[in-house]
Amino acid sequence: MFVKFEEQDLLELFNSEGESLTGNKDDGQLLYASSILEFSLSIYIRTYEQQVSLFLKYKGKDIFYGDFKNVDEIKKVDNILRILSDEKHLANITFGEEFIIDVKDE
């Protein structure tokens, strides 16, 4: 199993391509990052381990961390990035004038 996602969708939301965590982009371990004012959002995707980690920082200090396992899909809907497991929402990240992270309790 692996995490399904469209690289083009992540490129549109993060305004940059993903970086390899290991130097080998084909191993499925990627980092996407974006900044708004003094906030920075990073998403680490470990495709073959079906794991996604989110980090939100303000002025370089961690203010949110979420680690999601058994992720089947990362899907872009308008300006929202949805993290899904068996079609259930684990979290939503809204991209706009600020980052809004909504973690689902299911």
pLDDT band at 98 (very low <50, low <70, confident <90, very high): very high
What confidence tens digit (pLDDT) does each residue in 28-71 have? 899 999 999 999 999 999 999 999 999 999 999 999 999 999 99
Q: Both tokens of residue 53? A: 């980690």
Average pLDDT, whole number, for the chain?
Answer: 93
Q: What sign for the dihedral angle of Cα 84, 39, 14, 80?
A: positive
Radius of gyration of the chain (CA): 13
Residue 47: strand, helix, or coil = helix
pLDDT band at 106 (very low <50, low <70, confident <90, very high): low
Greatest alpha-carbon pair distance for the chain in Å reads: 37
pTM for the whole structure: 0.90
